[in-house]
Structure 1
Amino acid sequence: MNKLKLFLFSCLMIALVAACSNSSEEAAQDSGQADDKGTLTIGATSGPYSDMVTKAIQPGLEEQGYTVDVIEFNDYIQPNTALGNGSIDANLFQHKIYMENFAEGNNLDLSEVVVVPTAPMGIYSNKFDSMDEIEDGAEIAVPNDPTNLARALLMLEEAGLITVNEEANPLTISERDVEENVKNLNFSPIEAAQLPRAVDSVDLSAVPGNFALAAQMDLLDALQLETMPDDYRNRVVVNTSDLEERFVEDIKAVVESDAFEQVIDEEFQGFGKPEWMLN
């Protein structure tokens, strides 16, 4: 009889311990706690895109159980170099055309995860208040690299100020590809980083969004903001070999969340949203 009582008592204790364990697990799940998924290191260029990672992406990943380290870079070479050698897990700073050209030229295999809202190029002026006021013979500073110049020329074409040769290669395009120049604009190609300063010395300046923000310019002060194709929007990029990893799926889920879009609407005004966010 004593042995039977001891056996029944032992069974009761085991059942109670199991029940307590299950209750603790359920409580942890209900409170939003997540399993520790390890550390993710994400690289981004200093300024709006490192801010986007820390303000709009990092919190969501941490809620999922990741520890997130954000590494800031001051050029467009190191983020991909670091990704290729495994120093970081993902980066955010580049558009599709740059990614593909860099990967090909440096023997890397890179893939995009998701396109993010991107600061558009804008045409700024301290002389004119609207595109309609632009005078004949006005001088406009434009980027001297083909990729950004193509964007500037497209903006001017959309405004009806020029036409561009339809067969122009966006990787080698120059002002010589302008076929019709309605206002006889004078093009002054300069380094993209110098374009914000050029606003004070020329009539117009086509400034890429990241350099405008770095110079503390208000995107909404532009006479015109580009209608940016998604190929020119920045994206989260990883090594192609990691595409099937869980962290890639989790990054994509965070960017596609309502919480991410809310931060964009509140703190990144003027950023153009990609097509997937508008559908």
Structure 2
Amino acid sequence: MKKKKIKFIVITAIIVFLLLIVGFLSFGRKSTPANETKQTIRLGSSPGPYSELFLKGIKPILEKEGYKVTNKTFNNLLNADIALSDNQIDLNVDQHTAYLKNFNQEKKAKLAAITKIPTVPTGIYPANKKTLKTVSSGDRIAIPNDPANTARAYNLLVKAGWITLKDGTDPITATSKDIVSNKYNLRITELDSSTIPRSVKDFDYVILPGSVAYSAK
């Protein structure tokens, strides 16, 4: 029953997402003079379920509305955000709030969110170890190296009871320097999240953002 409930919530969130995006863009279309050329929407897609959702669920609706939707693919979200900041594309749909805020701060950019979308949560996944219950001293763990997801990973390790962070640590900017105790003396390696699934044999556990876990199946 729990799985069915979660599935229902996700489906509902996706439907709301579709309606919000289409409504937002349709509003812009209705304010355009009838004799004006239809707008071209330039999407920047990166690996993960969110770009797939847009391309499969929203693009056909927009095309029926008279829009032309083009897609420029990027191998990671950072490059898609840079392109968006440089006005090479009009939108992307692949990031959570913490990542957006961190990008704006690091790149002195002014990206803004249009609407929320359903997200796949970050998780700890077994690699050489088969269950989280078998964690032991000296285990190796890979986490994402981009600042926003690095912070999420350290907070997830806190939630698991494996490390603690110093009092007053900002959960959005947590780094390895904020660790005050490491219960299992975990050997933590920060890697590009897209490469972690190909390196699972080198680690006992890995932490992956939802979009990367989805793509890695």
CA-CA distance at 1:85 after TM superposition = 4.1
Relative to structure 1, is the Cα distance of residues 64 and 169 closer, same or farther in structure 2, using a 3 angstrom cutoff?
same
Structure number with bigger Rg:
1
Relative to structure 1, is the Cα distance of residues 200 and 102 closer, same or farther in structure 2, using a 3 angstrom cutoff?
same
Unpaired segments of 5 or more residues in structure 1? Answer: 1-33, 218-279
Relative to structure 1, is the Cα distance of residues 123 and 165 closer, same or farther in structure 2, using a 3 angstrom cutoff?
same
Matching residue of 1:250: none
**C-alpha deviations, 1:51-80, integer Å up to 9, x for none?**
121112213323433222222122334433
Unpaired segments of 5 or more residues in structure 2? Answer: 1-29
More divergent stretch after superposition (94-103 vs 201-210): 94-103
**What's the secondary structure of 1:135's corresponding residue?**
coil
CA-CA distance at 1:141 after TM superposition = 1.9
Letter in 1 for 2:72: I
Letter in 1 for 2:156: M
Relative to structure 1, is the Cα distance of residues 166 and 61 closer, same or farther in structure 2, using a 3 angstrom cutoff?
farther
Instruction: Check whether the contact 1:122–1:206 (CA below 8 A) recurs between aligned residues.
Output: yes
What TM-score results when the alignment is normalised by the length of structure 2?
A: 0.69
C-alpha root-mean-square deviation of aligned residues, in Å?
Answer: 2.8
**What's the secondary structure of 1:205's corresponding residue?**
strand
Relative to structure 1, is the Cα distance of residues 99 and 127 closer, same or farther in structure 2, using a 3 angstrom cutoff?
closer
Matching residue of 1:187: 188
CA-CA distance at 1:104 after TM superposition = 4.4
CA-CA distance at 1:114 after TM superposition = 0.9
Instruction: Check whether the contact 2:102–2:147 (CA below 8 A) recurs between aligned residues.
Output: no
**What's the secondary structure of 1:55's corresponding residue?**
helix
What TM-score results when the alignment is normalised by the length of structure 1?
A: 0.56
After TM superposition, the structure 1 = structure 2 runs for residues 16-55 of structure 1, keeping only pairs within 5 Å, are 37-55=38-56
Q: How far apart, in 1, do the equivalents of 2:44 and 2:51 lie?
A: 8
CA-CA distance at 1:171 after TM superposition = 6.1
Task: For CA contacts below 8 A with separation 6 or more, give which structure has more relative contact order.
Answer: 1
CA-CA distance at 1:89 after TM superposition = 2.1
**C-alpha deviations, 1:113-160, integer Å up to 9, x for none?**
112122332222233333222223322122334322211121122222
Matching residue of 1:158: 159
